[in-house]
């Protein structure tokens, strides 16, 4: 396929979206828990938000903290900042005041835009010794506010009148996302105006085939790279409609949106799909209007994909992306889904597998480190030169993931670099064992780490979460895996727990399980 042309050197993504949808001003762009916003209304609010931020004294390239639940105000805040040339720092809504204090100090954010429900947490964060915040703008707050606080609606009202977009460059720092912390160390990842354009062109249009006829709903939140593309960049680039949800994406909350709004495209993560399939409230195909589903965050177990397709008659397009590359760069494609794999390189990207000495692996079914080359790589990790140099290596970005490639060119996930286990001198992928475990009808989810036995040798240990009302013994679990995998791969140790530690994207935090195991030793 022919690749899209690059954006012009002078490029403002918010203005690009406004211009792209100028002919559909009356069409619904966004639907959240309290109302709707048309494309014309969204454009007006973006301009007003930009002007309001400028009136607060914010200058080009200064940072603003964006701590909001998914809503029309989130979208307007993000795009309004881009329009003004101000840099939004979008952060996870599930963190602690200490986390936010670090992020404020790290970014030197001058203003915070915050949902009313999160104002108390932000106030505690600011009280921990942050020095840069000069103003707080609060979304959907009904009560009076203290000094230096402004209602979001008043910010918009203050910015009425003509407002021109900042003359930003496509390669200019535009926004930050913090890495999700699957390795325990979130980093401020700096992206450009042009990166948003490229993800929409290469994946939103090129792979998912989104059009203005689609209505989309993402369980992944906007502050994640995956969710940002799903529910903002991709649909708004083609004039589609978006369903936004502030609450956590529980199976029941997700089912309600799938049945009430009838979205045609749904984006989730493997944990979420597994939880929905296990729910007694799972709707039937006749109650939804899905034509396509997407999964990222971790590799999708084949069993989950097959059961979902059998239930709803639509494919789950599994892919892998990262905060560093902004969205998915390796993916299955509609009509070419091979469950159990992550597909092939998205057109516009190149991928390589490299060995322990950095050599390129050209053979098949060999595990190597995954590297990516493409136009959406971040500029840097803020104030972290050492890690920046390690991850962004010239044109190539080191993913931190291990993969293998089969004879047909499909890539299969083998785990994070720091998760791989060497058992009896042979590498074992935790994900391969986990994918086998969740095929058991009594097991909801599982995580596998290495445990040193009494002889000082590393063996696999499985942490298993059972479905409600189910019971298994340790020997049941071992026998199930022995029947399906090579003998050295079965878990020598099994521990039943009620839930696995995860990031807010649903990624299993195996390092927390390793820490827990080390404390027992």
What tens-digit pLDDT sequence spans the chain (521 residues)? 678 899 999 999 999 999 999 999 999 999 999 999 999 999 999 999 999 999 999 999 999 999 999 999 999 999 999 999 999 999 999 888 988 999 999 999 999 999 999 999 999 999 999 999 999 999 999 999 999 999 999 999 998 766 899 999 999 999 999 985 544 457 999 999 999 999 999 999 999 999 999 999 999 999 999 999 999 999 999 999 999 999 999 999 999 999 999 999 999 988 889 889 999 999 999 999 999 999 998 788 899 999 999 999 999 999 999 999 999 999 999 999 999 999 999 999 999 999 989 999 998 999 999 999 999 999 999 999 999 999 999 999 999 899 999 999 999 988 777 777 877 656 688 888 999 999 999 999 999 998 877 766 678 999 999 999 999 999 999 999 999 887 778 999 999 999 999 876 677 888 889 888 888 86
Nearest residue to 177 (alpha-carbon basis) of 165, 195, 203: 195
Taking the C-alpha atoms of residue 280 and residue 347, their distance in angstroms, rounded to an integer, is 39
DSSP code for 117: G
| φ, ψ (nearest 5 deg) of residue 257 | -70, -40
Give the Cα-Cα-Cα angle 322, 326, 327 (nearest 5 degrees): 75
Q: What's the gap between Cα 357 and its chain centre?
A: 30
Do the Cβ atoms of 168 and 193 come closer than 8 Å? yes
For the CA atoms of 233, 237, 239, 242, what is the dihedral angle to 10 degrees? 0
Predicted confidence at residue 184, as pLDDT, reads 46
Q: Model's pTM, two decimal places?
A: 0.85
- Nearest C-alpha neighbor of 336 from the set 416, 232, 402, 409: 409
In what helix (H) or strand (E) does residue 28 lie, and over which residues does it extend?
strand 28-31
Expressed in percent and rounded to 5, the helix, strand and coil fractions of the chain are 30, 25, 40
């Amino acid at each position: 396929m022919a690749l899209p042309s690059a954006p012009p050197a002078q490029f403002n993504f918010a203005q690009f979206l406004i211009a792209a949808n100028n002919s559909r001003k009356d069409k619904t762009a966004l639907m959240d828990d309290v109302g709707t916003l048309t494309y014309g209304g969204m454009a007006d609010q973006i301009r007003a938000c930009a002007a309001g931020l400028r009136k607060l004294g914010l200058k080009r390239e200064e940072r603003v903290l964006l701590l909001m639940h998914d809503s029309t105000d989130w979208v307007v805040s993000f795009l309004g900042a881009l329009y003004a040339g101000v840099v939004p720092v979008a952060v996870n809504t599930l963190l602690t005041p200490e986390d936010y204090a670090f992020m404020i100090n790290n970014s030197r954010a001058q203003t915070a835009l915050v949902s009313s429900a999160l104002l108390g947490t932000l106030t505690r964060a600011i009280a921990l010794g942050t020095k840069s915040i000069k103003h707080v703008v609060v979304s959907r707050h009904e009560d009076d506010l203290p000094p230096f606080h402004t209602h979001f609606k008043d910010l918009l009202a203050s910015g009425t009148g003509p407002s021109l977009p900042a003359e930003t460059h496509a390669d200019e720092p535009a926004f930050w996302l913090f890495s999700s912390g699957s390795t325990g160390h979130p980093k401020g990842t700096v992206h450009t105006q042009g990166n948003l354009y490229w993800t929409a062109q290469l994946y939103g249009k090129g792979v998912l085939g989104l059009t203005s006829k689609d209505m989309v709903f993402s369980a992944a939140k906007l502050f994640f790279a995956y969710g940002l593309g799903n529910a903002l960049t991709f649909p708004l680039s083609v004039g589609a409609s978006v369903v936004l949800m502030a609450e956590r994406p529980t199976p029941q909350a997700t089912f309600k949106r799938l049945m009430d709004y009838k979205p045609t495209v749904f984006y989730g993560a493997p944990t979420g799909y597994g939880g929905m399939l296990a729910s007694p409230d799972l709707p039937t195909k006749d109650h939804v209007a899905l034509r396509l589903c997407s999964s990222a965050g971790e590799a999708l177990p084949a069993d989950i994909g097959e059961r979902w397709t059998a239930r709803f008659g639509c494919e789950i397009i599994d892919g892998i992306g990262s905060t560093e590359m902004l969205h998915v760069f390796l993916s299955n494609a509609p009509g070419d889904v091979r469950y159990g794999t992550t597909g092939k390189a998205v057109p516009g990207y190149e991928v390589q597998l490299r060995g322990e000495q950095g050599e390129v692996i050209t053979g098949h079914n060999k595990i190597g480190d995954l590297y990516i080359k493409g136009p959406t790589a971040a500029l840097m990790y803020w104030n972290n030169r050492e890690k920046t140099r390690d991850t962004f290596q010239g044109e190539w970005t080191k993913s931190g993931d291990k993969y293998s490639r089969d004879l047909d060119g499909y890539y299969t996930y083998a785990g994070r670099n720091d998760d791989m286990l060497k058992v009896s001198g042979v590498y074992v992928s935790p994900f391969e064992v986990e994918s086998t475990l969740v095929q058991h009808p009594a097991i909801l989810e599982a995580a596998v780490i290495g445990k040193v036995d009494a002889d000082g040798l590393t063996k696999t240990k499985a942490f298993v979460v059972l479905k409600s009302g189910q019971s298994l013994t340790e020997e049941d679990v071992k026998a199930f895996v022995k029947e399906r995998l090579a003998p050295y791969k079965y878990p020598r140790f099994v521990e039943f727990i009620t839930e696995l530690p995860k990031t807010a994207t649903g990624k299993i935090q195996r390092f927390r399980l390793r820490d827990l195991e080390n404390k027992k030793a």
